[in-house]
Structure formats: structure tokens, C-alpha cells
Amino acid sequence: MKPEEGEEFPWWLVILGVTGLWMFYEVWVSEIYSQVMSTLVKGIEVTVAVTLVAYAMACALGLALAVAGLSKYRVLRQAARLWIEVIRGVPIMVLLLYVAFVLSPALVYAWNWVGAFVGAAPVISRDFPLIARAVMALTLAYSAFLAEIFRAGLQAVDKGQIEAAMSLGLSGWQRFRHIVFPQAFRMILPPLGNDFVAMVKDSSLVSILGVADITQLGKVQAAGNFRYFETYNMVALLYLVMTIGLSLGLRRIERRLRMRIN
């Protein structure tokens, strides 16, 4: 008989926990592991900052795209669909390189061109920080995927409740704020959480720009000491701690929301 959800003992978590404790023990007793970890922890702040900022901006842009895609105006609907299809069709790494070396210099050139008329100080392309380019690329990439999640959640809200809110005289913004979005958010929280965990992993792609995140510091460390096994064990460990911790936390939040609804 198949156990119900939540009743089966999480042996997988025990295995991962024991393995993680063993690896942290190696950091404590091994000089090599300790040296590698002391270098990698410097990149945790960059990884977390890039993930949080990019995801927050991607959520805002994705929600705007979802609302535009459901607009009564054809121009907004077509523009949103064009954006989503183009961004989803480009690999994240290609988009990262494009934003870093094509779009960012183009924005600097446009800024300088406009600034020449208003008397603003010119900006040099190399003054555009690489971490800002990385955040911009991840924001654009994930905005398209999050837009589809928001759109599905907004369309899943019962139309009868929206009509009831209209009959009470609520404005469009009031209906969205008090009726539509709260219900949609409960339904789309699991996929939003999955995309957040995915962004933690995809943030490692910023290392190709030389941003000093965990992956980049691991590459530099391994190239210097040739201890690839120890170095990438620690890189994988740090990402697993972050992603599994987030997954467990999100599952707990989902269970609490289901309990409140039921």
C-alpha cells in the first residue's frame, strides 16, 4: 500500500545529511578542505545577492508581462507574447553573454547620446559592473518563465468571484489586489519556489563573466592548487546546502498554506 504524502520517512534526507556532516567534518580536520572552504565562503554573499535581486526583479517584470498578456489591448498582449517567446527561446548562457557584451554597451551608448543633449556626464562601458550585467541577464531570462506562471495563476481564479467583486463596485486595481492576486499566489507558490531554487543554481552561470561567486572562486582555487576533487566537492556541497534548505523551507510554507485553506 502506497504511503500518503508526508508519512514516508525521508531516508534520502538522512543520506544527504550524513554525507554533508561527513564533508563538513573533513573541512574541520583536513587542511586542504579547510583552505578550499575558506575561499569559497567569500562567494556565498555574491551568490545570494545575485539570486535575491535578480529573482525579485524577475518576479516584478514577470507579473507585469502576465498582466499585459491578459490585457484587453491587443498591442500589450502581442508585445508581452513577443517578449516571452523570444526570451524563452534563447539559452540563459547565450542571453548572459548578449546582455553583458551587446546590450549593456548599447545602453551605455544610448545614455551618452541622450546625455550629450542634457549635459550629463558620459559613462564608459567598462564602468558598467559585471555583476549588474549578470543580474540584468538573469532578470530578463526568468521574467519570461515567471510570466507564464503568473498568467496561469491569474487565469485559474474563479471568474464568478471577479464578477461578484465588480458588482460590489470594486475598481480593477482593487479586484486584482484583494481578490485575484491573493488566490493566484497560493496556487502558484510551488512553481515560484521551484524557479527560485533553479535560479540559485543558474546563478553559477555568472562565473563566465568573472563575477566572484562560489563557482568562479572554485574555478580559480582549483586552477591554483590542482585539487579538483576537493574543490568541486565543496562547491557542490555549498549549493546543495542552499538548494535543499530552500526546498524544505518552501515545502513547509506550502503545507501551512494548505492547512489554512482547508
Query: In this predicted structure, what is the pLDDT of residue 1?
Result: 45
Query: In this predicted structure, what is the pLDDT of residue 155?
Result: 86
Query: In this predicted structure, what is the pLDDT of residue 174?
Result: 79
Residues ≥6 apart with Cβ < 8 Å to 16: 240, 244
Decide if 151 contacts 81 (C-beta within 8 A): no
CA angle 14, 236, 255 (to 5 degrees): 50
* Separation CA 262–CA 256 (nearest Å): 10
Q: What are phi and psi of 2, to 5 degrees?
A: -75, 130
Decide if 96 contacts 137 (C-beta within 8 A): yes
- Along the 262 residues of the chain, how does pLDDT read in single tens digits? 455 555 678 888 888 888 888 888 888 888 888 888 999 999 999 999 999 999 999 999 999 999 999 888 899 999 999 999 999 999 999 999 999 899 888 887 877 777 777 666 666 656 678 899 999 999 999 999 999 999 988 888 877 777 787 777 777 777 877 788 888 888 888 899 899 999 999 999 999 988 989 999 999 999 888 889 989 999 999 999 999 999 888 888 878 777 766 5
Query: In this predicted structure, what is the pLDDT of residue 176?
Result: 79
* Separation CA 179–CA 162 (nearest Å): 7
Sign of the four-CA dihedral 19, 20, 24, 30: positive
Q: Which CATH number is 43-212's, of 3.90.1300.10, 2.40.70.10, 3.40.718.10, 1.10.3720.10?
A: 1.10.3720.10
Decide if 204 contacts 240 (C-beta within 8 A): no
CA angle 159, 193, 186 (to 5 degrees): 25
Every domain of the chain and the residues it spans = 43-212
